[in-house]
Structure 1
Amino acid sequence: MPHILIVEDETIIRSALRRLLERNQYQVSEAGSVQEAQERFSIATFDLIVSDLRLPGAPGTELIKLGQGTPVLIMTSYASLRSAVDSMKMGAVDYIAKPFDHDEMLQAVARILRDRQNAPASVSAGAEPRANGKAAAADKGSSNAANGEIGIIGSCPPMQDMYSKIRKVAPTDSNVLIQGESGTGKELVARALHNLSRRAKAPMISVNCAAIPETLIESELFGHEKGAFTGASAGRAGLVEAADGGTLFLDEIGELPLEAQARLLRVLQEGEIRRVGSVQSQKVDVRLIAATHRDLKNLAKVGQFREDLYYRLHVIALKLPALRERGPDVNEIATAFLARQSARIGRDDLRFSSEAEQAIRHYSWPGNVRELENAVERAVILSESPEISAELLGIDIELSDLDDDDLLGNLPVLSSGTANSASHEPTEDLSLEDYFQHFVLEHQDHMTETELARKLGVSRKCLWERRQRLGIPRRKSNATSDN
């Protein structure tokens, strides 16, 4: 059982983190400061140290030296994010920003321990600390590629295609643009690309471009010199510089201001940066992975995104399918979330009812994986019996409307030769939504809403919702015929 040392001066955070790790089968010791850790424990004997950056007395980075090769995961608030990046340059294996998600912490811990276990003996013994992370990157990349460690749940054909592309693209240094709706897991794809690359032992710096104020984003990304602006009391390295030798992941890159886009283009074209307030440029070796839910090509056409930057980013484009397009994957993902959330509260008797499983499969999940995870977490917390219902998940759809596969078999055949022009279009190979639209347009002049719904095998509520989604207005003559 891996032994983890937590060093955190906030008692509430320390206790919560200890419970989280112990519930997930880790042995945990704790201390409130570096000095206390030194007095109570032999620091170098731990498998992992998780430490706050700012501690009373010595900072958490002191544990890097005291650990003698033991990996150190630094926790930091967003306000001191650049200090955390500096700590990685000092040898910290990774950092995690507060407030962190439980799953994010568990994934980071599992990844670090796995890397430690798979590392060559000389590295794991601490013979050569990871100062810049470049030396051992190739070994980790080839090891992961051989094992196919993508780290994403799902086996539907679109995801299998995605995994194949990840394995092909990861070993290269090509820029990658990941596209997909919010909540589909774009950062997981970025992490897989990094972990399977030759840069895997170097930092992967993740930046949410939408979360940084526009006035600060250039300083955050490219750093600044002392006196460059009010409050710049000392020079700082930016996040691009911190990713030197590794991977820079820019999430929601469509939100990046045009001036910052011009600076980023220089990084991609020339491989160099210039800090805000400096006249000197410096070389950086960074692989860029960007993600967005927006259409950058259209943004470029209207002048909201640099066209030259778009084509620089669009070397390799990966399109993540929405959760509603992944078929039975949704139930597999939900089951994984249920197991994870059940472990958090110490229960092993929770399960989805058959109606809940059906509802999970057929609900559209507009918020994608993130919405599913939140729904499962809420249901686990509120559940009073072992069986979790669709209602507890917050899925407000009628079970009679759910099974699209069954619905396809029950759809009536379109009659030939009607007055509606839609009926003259070929009906072979139509999607379910196309078939629905054709049928409603053809028959709504002489059928009530109840009759239409019954012929389609759905409820009137489902009929109304699909009308709204497909933009099919009700005929005025039909509006009162059901009343």
Structure 2
Amino acid sequence: MPHILIVEDESIIRSALRRLLERNQYQVSEAGSVQEALERYSLTQFDLIISDLRLPGAPGTELIQHAKGQPVLIMTSYASLRSAVDSMKLGAVDYIAKPFDHGEMLQSIQRILKDNQANSSSKPTVPTATPSAPPAPSSQIPQQVSLGIIGRCLAMQNLFGKILKVAPTDSNVLILGESGTGKELVARALHNQSQRAKSPMISVNCAAIPETLIESELFGHEKGAFTGATSGRTGLVEAADGGTLFLDEIGELPLEAQARLLRVLQEGEIRRVGSVHSQKVNVRLIAATHRDLKTLSKAGHFREDLYYRLNVIALKLPPLREREQDVLEIAEAFLKHHSNRLNTGPLFFSPEAKQAILHYAWPGNVRELENAIERAAILSDRQEISAEVLGIDLEQNAFEAFNSLHREEHNKPSEAKTNDLPEAAENLSLEDYFQHFVLEHQEHMTETELARKLGISRKCLWERRQRLGIPRRKSAAGEA
């Protein structure tokens, strides 16, 4: 059982973190300051030390030199994020911002312990691939484990092959996908498989930082650069020097900051706000967005030159509704995680619950799925998770999708309509509406497009075809 030391002066946070770790089968010791930790324990006895950055007396970074190689994870508030990044340069293995998500904390701990064990045994735990090696056949690629992403469907297997090809390079990567699909997991996989893996990966959500502060946060500022700048600060781009900078929701970046970022990509240098001097930085940029940057650039809301700089390599993450059996495997992984966290004992899905999970469209993708599983694990009073406890309303989901389709068709120009849909979708039964829509559109839509428009999986589409006796057009029989 891994032994973890918590060093935190706030007793409420320390107690909550201790309970979280003990529920997940970790042995835990604690201290309220660096001095107390050094007096009470030999730091080398711990598999991991989790310390707040700001502590009474000495800062948490003081523990790094006393730990003699044992990993130290630094906790920090968002306001002192740059200081935490600086602590990584002193030897901290990672940092996590407070208030932290329980799942995020546990994932960080698992990754750190796994990496530390691998380093101790001097055996690589992640298969490597040379840039020239072609990806293995989809049935033989085991990367869903090594990359930290579950995905056995063809689209995800192809994505894993691209990650292993792209990761060893320093090319900019643009990750595209709907909200909640796991774009940061892909960025983390690219970083971990790159030659920069031992350097920091700095993640920035561009939508979460106020527009007035974004340039200072990213590029730093000099003392007196603006009101309240009482001292100079390192920006997050500079803090990522030698490593990877991940800009999530880059479509929300203001135009002024886009111009500065373009300079980083073109010249490899930054200039702090209020400074007249530039300095070189060596960062690999990975950006992500759920928006259409090309359309934004044409509308003048995103710099076209920056778009082409970012779009060297584009990786598309499929939405959950297009990932076939992956959704059930992901759901079962979440169920196991939350049953361990809540100490409920083994939980499993009923056959009806599995069907509901497979047939629901999951508009919120993996994020919505995890929330549904966590809610079910908490509310269920039995080991078997029923469809009712999951709270997935398949009929309402399908009805809303059909009504949305009706509105789309109704709003099209009249000359584009060959056969108008009925005036009111609510006047048809769901089965009638399904049959009408499939027969209307299957000549010019693939099965994947039909399923996506209907808000169901391809498997569900096939099953309903069988049940209703709707033949599949011959030209579609060979579709992938």
Partner of 1:268: 265
Would you say the 8 A contact 2:73–2:93 is kept in 1?
yes
Cα gap change, 1:17 to 1:213, in 2 (>3 Å)? same
Would you say the 8 A contact 1:141–1:200 is kept in 2?
no
Distance 1:82 1:389 in 2: 46
- Post-superposition CA distance 1:428-469 (Å, at most 9, x none): xxxxxxxxxx8x84x899x972496298499xxxxxxx9xx7
Partner of 2:34: 34
Distance 2:346 2:103 in 1: 21
The answer to whether structure 1 residue 254 and structure 2 residue 251 are counterparts is yes
Cα gap change, 1:68 to 1:357, in 2 (>3 Å)? same
Q: Given residue 108 of structure 1, which amino acid in structure 2 is its aligned partner? A: S
Cα gap change, 1:448 to 1:59, in 2 (>3 Å)? closer
Would you say the 8 A contact 2:359–2:394 is kept in 1?
no
- CA shift at 1:119, angstroms? 2.1
Partner of 1:277: 274
- Post-superposition CA distance 1:39-77 (Å, at most 9, x none): 110013322111111111211111111112211110111
Would you say the 8 A contact 1:142–1:198 is kept in 2?
no
Q: Given residue 36 of structure 1, which amino acid in structure 2 is its aligned partner? A: E
Distance 1:451 1:344 in 2: 40
Would you say the 8 A contact 2:53–2:84 is kept in 1?
yes
Which stretch has the larger CA shift, 143-152 or 90-99? 143-152
The 5 Å alignment of 1:42-121 reads: 42-119=42-119
Cα gap change, 1:170 to 1:182, in 2 (>3 Å)? same
The answer to whether structure 1 residue 333 and structure 2 residue 330 are counterparts is yes
For the pair shown, the structure with the greater C-alpha radius of gyration is 1
Partner of 2:457: none
Cα gap change, 1:48 to 1:217, in 2 (>3 Å)? same
Q: SS where residue 97 of structure 1 aligns?
A: strand
Partner of 2:233: 236
Q: Given residue 377 of structure 1, which amino acid in structure 2 is its aligned partner? A: E
Cα gap change, 1:421 to 1:192, in 2 (>3 Å)? closer
Residue from 358, 365, 375 that aligns with 1:368: 365
Q: Given residue 210 of structure 1, which amino acid in structure 2 is its aligned partner? A: A
Partner of 2:159: 162
Would you say the 8 A contact 2:129–2:165 is kept in 1?
no
Cα gap change, 1:448 to 1:291, in 2 (>3 Å)? closer
The 5 Å alignment of 1:178-327 reads: 178-327=175-324
- Post-superposition CA distance 1:167-193 (Å, at most 9, x none): 100010000000000000000000000
Cα gap change, 1:43 to 1:120, in 2 (>3 Å)? closer
Would you say the 8 A contact 1:323–1:330 is kept in 2?
yes
Q: Given residue 267 of structure 2, which amino acid in structure 1 is its aligned partner? A: E
Residue from 409, 428, 432 that aligns with 1:449: 428
- CA shift at 1:26, angstroms? 2.2
Distance 1:310 1:354 in 2: 46
TM-score, normalised by the number of residues in structure 1? 0.80
Would you say the 8 A contact 2:221–2:233 is kept in 1?
yes
Cα gap change, 1:384 to 1:228, in 2 (>3 Å)? same
Distance 1:421 1:203 in 2: 53
Q: SS where residue 119 of structure 1 aligns?
A: helix
Distance 1:212 1:421 in 2: 43
Distance 2:434 2:94 in 1: 58
- Post-superposition CA distance 1:344-393 (Å, at most 9, x none): 11122322121111111111111110011011111111111222222222
Cα gap change, 1:261 to 1:444, in 2 (>3 Å)? closer
Would you say the 8 A contact 1:48–1:71 is kept in 2?
yes
Paired residues in the alignment total: 413
TM-score, normalised by the number of residues in structure 2? 0.80
Cα gap change, 1:27 to 1:198, in 2 (>3 Å)? same
Cα gap change, 1:5 to 1:335, in 2 (>3 Å)? same
Would you say the 8 A contact 2:361–2:397 is kept in 1?
no
Distance 1:28 1:240 in 2: 35
Would you say the 8 A contact 2:272–2:278 is kept in 1?
yes
Distance 2:390 2:431 in 1: 30
- CA shift at 1:115, angstroms? 1.8
Q: SS where residue 74 of structure 2 aligns?
A: strand
- Post-superposition CA distance 1:175-216 (Å, at most 9, x none): 000000000000000000000000001000000000001111
Distance 1:260 1:303 in 2: 15
Q: Given residue 311 of structure 1, which amino acid in structure 2 is its aligned partner? A: Y
Q: SS where residue 171 of structure 2 aligns?
A: coil
Distance 1:142 1:379 in 2: 33
Which stretch has the larger CA shift, 110-119 or 36-45? 110-119
Partner of 2:4: 4
Q: SS where residue 394 of structure 2 aligns?
A: coil
Distance 1:270 1:143 in 2: 34
- Post-superposition CA distance 1:100-155 (Å, at most 9, x none): 1112111111211222222267xx9xxxxxxxxxxxxxx97986559842110121
